[in-house]
Structures are given as structure tokens and as C-alpha cells.
Amino acid sequence: MPSTSVSVKAARKRLGELVREVNDDTVAVEIVGKHGTGVLISQDRYAALQEATFLLRSPELMDSLRREMQRALLEAAAPTDEPRPAPARRRTKNKKKKRKKRQRSR
């Protein structure tokens, strides 16, 4: 995630612009001042970080995720003798419309 660094004074002047920037461009803005440094990120990014932190704090969940990842990796690496089924064909909107017309005319 790219980041920008600005002073507290500059951040005050450009706050609206910086908020738009962190939401539109998925960037973090580092705000540097004489009393410390802070970071401005979007609400979505903040919520995602909180969720990830919560999940990482749960040992049971982490064990479950590790087991699932290991199983998926083993499945992906295992050769299969059986041919994979062909993906199901999707109907297009035109075919659906034609089918409806036929049903109405009956």
C-alpha cells in the first residue's frame, strides 16, 4: 500500500483532500508532528485490519486456517486420474427471453 507523508500543519489544510485520497486510492497518509506520527487510512481498511487482528489472536482459528490451507495445498498438488467435469453452460439472457416467449404462446 503506497503512502504519503505530510506534516500536521499541511494535513489540517488538506484534510478533506486527504480523506478522499485514502478512500479513492487505497493509500495511507502518514501525518508527522513534533508530538509523534499518526496514520490516516480509510474506514474500510481500518475495519479489515481490525478483523484480521481479531482472527490472528484466536489460536484455535489460526490452527483451523493452517490445517485448511495445508489440505488445499495437498489437494492442488495431488495428481488426479479422473477427468475434471466440464463447467456448466450458462444460459444467455436472449435464450431466457426466447423460452419465455415460447411458453406464453403455448
Tally helices (H) and strands (E) across the chain: 5, 3
Q: Are residues 61 and 31 in the same domain?
A: no
- Tell whether the model's pLDDT for residue 86 goes beyond 90: no
Q: How confident is the model at residue 93 (pLDDT cuts 50, 70, 90)?
A: low
Residue 23: which domain range? 3-41
Does some domain include residue 19? yes
DSSP 41: -
Give the integer Cα–Cα distance in Å for 83 and 74. 18
* pLDDT tens-digit map of 37-72: 999 999 999 999 999 888 888 888 888 888 999 999
* pLDDT at 57 (0 to 100): 87
Per the CB < 8 A criterion, the answer to whether 3 and 30 are in contact is yes
Q: Are residues 36 and 54 in the same domain?
A: no
* pLDDT tens-digit map of 13-45: 999 999 999 999 888 999 999 999 999 999 999
Q: Which amino acid does the sequence have at 95?
A: K
